[in-house]
Amino acid sequence: MRLRVAGAQLPVTTSVEDNLAAIRRALAFAADEDAEILLTPEGSLSGYTPHFDRAAVREALQIVTGEAAQAGVGLALGTCYEEPEDGLCYNQIRFYDRKGGYLGFHSKTLTCGTMTDPPRGEINDYAVAPLRTFVWGELTIGGLICNDLWANPTCTPVPDPHLTHLLAKMGAQVIFHAVNGGRDGSELSRVNWHFHESNLRLRTMAANLYVVTADCCFPTNLPCSAPSGVLDRRGSWIVQTPPQGEQFFVATLEFP
C-alpha cells in the first residue's frame, strides 16, 4: 500500500488573495506530480491571524477545494476558520479527499501563549476541538499544527500531552503537520530551528509513523523556523526542502 504526498513551504501573509494564489501554485505542482494529498502551512489561506476576512476566506476555500477536486488532489489545508455550527474561530487543518469530500478538521491544541499568569496570546483567540483521526482509504491519518508537535517551552503555558504519541495510539499512520513558526534571524531563531527539527525526528521515531511537515516562508529573506519535508518512521528525512523561500516537495510513502 502506498500514499503519494505533496507539501508546500509557502509565504503566508494577511492577504487572502495572495495566499490563494500561492496555494494554487502548490496545487498545480501536486497535480503534475500525481500526488494524492497536498499539505499547506498553518494559516496558509486565511493568514495566521484570528482577524481575517471571514467572507473572503469562505469564497477562497470554495475555489481551492473545487480546483483540488477537479485535479483529483486531496487537501490537508492550513487555515484559520470560523465554524458556522458554533460561531467559534479555530486554527485548523481542513482535510478533503480527492473528490473534494470534506473529512473534518484538526484544531490546534497547544495554542501558544506567554508564560505569565494568566497567559496572553493566541491561547485566548482560538477554540480547541477534541483530537481525532481521519480515514483515507485503508489508512488512518491525523493532523497537528506547529506547537502541537514540539511543545516549545518558551510559549507553551500548559502541559505537553504528547499529541504525536496520542495520534499513534489512535491508529494514525501518517501525521500532516502544518507550521507557521516565528523567526527574526536572531540566535534564538537558530536555536528554535534545531529544537523543532530534533522534536520532529525524535517524536516521529517514538511514534513509529510518517510525518509530512510544511512551514511558512514569509518573509522570504529569512530562513524558516523549521524544516519542511517528509520523515519516515525511523525519524529520518525522506525529502527535505531548502530552508528559505517557496519550495514544493513530493514523496511516496510505503505501508506494509
Region 157-178 average pLDDT:
98
Could you tell me what percent of the chain has a pLDDT over 90?
96
pLDDT of residue 182: 84
CB atoms within 10 A of CB 84: 9
Cβ of 139: how many Cβ atoms within 10 Å? Answer: 18
Q: What percent of the chain lies above the pLDDT cut of 70?
A: 100
Q: Amino acid identity of 219?
A: P
170 Cβ contact list (under 8 Å, min separation 6): 131, 132, 133, 140, 142
3-state secondary structure of 159: coil
Q: Which domain holds residue 230?
A: 2-254
Count of domains observed in the chain: 1
- Spell out a b/e string for 165-198, using b for 16 or more CB atoms within 10 Å of the CB, else e: ebbbeeebbbbbbbbbbebeeeeebeebbebbbe
Pure H helices in the chain: 16-32, 54-71, 147-150, 163-169, 187-207
User: Per-residue pLDDT for 256 more than 90?
Assistant: no
Q: Which segments within the chain are labelled E, that is strand?
A: 2-9, 37-39, 74-82, 89-96, 102-107, 134-136, 139-145, 174-178, 210-214, 229-231, 237-240, 247-254
Could you give the C-alpha distances from 113 to 41, 124, 220, in angstroms and in order? 20, 8, 25
Q: Answer yes or no: pTM beyond 0.75.
A: yes
For the chain, the residue count is 256
What confidence tens digit (pLDDT) does each residue in 89-137 have?
Answer: 999 999 999 999 999 999 999 999 999 999 999 999 999 999 999 999 9
Nearest by Cα to 135 from 85, 101, 109, 107: 101
Beta-carbon count within 10 A of 152 CB? 19
At 192, which CATH number? 3.60.110.10
